[in-house]
Amino acid sequence: MRTKLGISAGLLAAIMYWCGFFSGIVPLIIIAGYVFLKEENDFLKRTALKAVVFLLAFFVIKELLVIIPVMIGDVLDIVNTYSGNYYSLNKVTQVFYTIRDIVGWAQTFFFVFVGFASLKLKDIPFAPLDKIVDSNILHNNQ
């Protein structure tokens, strides 16, 4: 299967996932927009949506793992100010940042693996998202 750009559908799908590997939300949005506007291949449309959703999900998870210790620290600052005691958050912050690093590595491995799988036109099943894609996006093409 070739795209209108003249490259294989698998390569374009892999490029979209690899944008997630390089944390390239802007290139991914541009490529996904192109796919939805110009391409007729259902595999590419499914891949474009999944790549964007997965990248945004990883982004939100990693940012929450930074924001939560900051919010807890702000509460502890207020408690420390009025109680006269000093409570530290160093160990908790280290745990959150370690989990964030693990999620970052998982993101890297996920996007690289799925990118190589999509070179062979293999779709990674993700039931909740597949239902939305099948009922809305692909249904509108028929």
Domain boundaries, the chain: 9-140
pTM of the model: 0.82
pLDDT of residue 73: 84
Q: Quote the tokens at residue 84.
A: 């006269």
Q: Report the number of secondary-structure helices (H) and strands (E) in the chain.
A: 6, 0
Read off the pLDDT of residues 11-63 as tens digits, 9 standing for 90 and up. Answer: 999 999 998 888 678 999 999 999 999 998 888 988 998 999 999 999 999 99
CB atoms within 10 A of CB 43: 18
pLDDT given at position 131: 83
Per-residue model confidence as pLDDT tens digits over 94-103: 899 999 999 9
Q: Could you write out the DSSP letters of every residue in 52-90?
A: HHHHHHHHHHHHHHHHHHHHHHHHHHHHHHHHS-----H
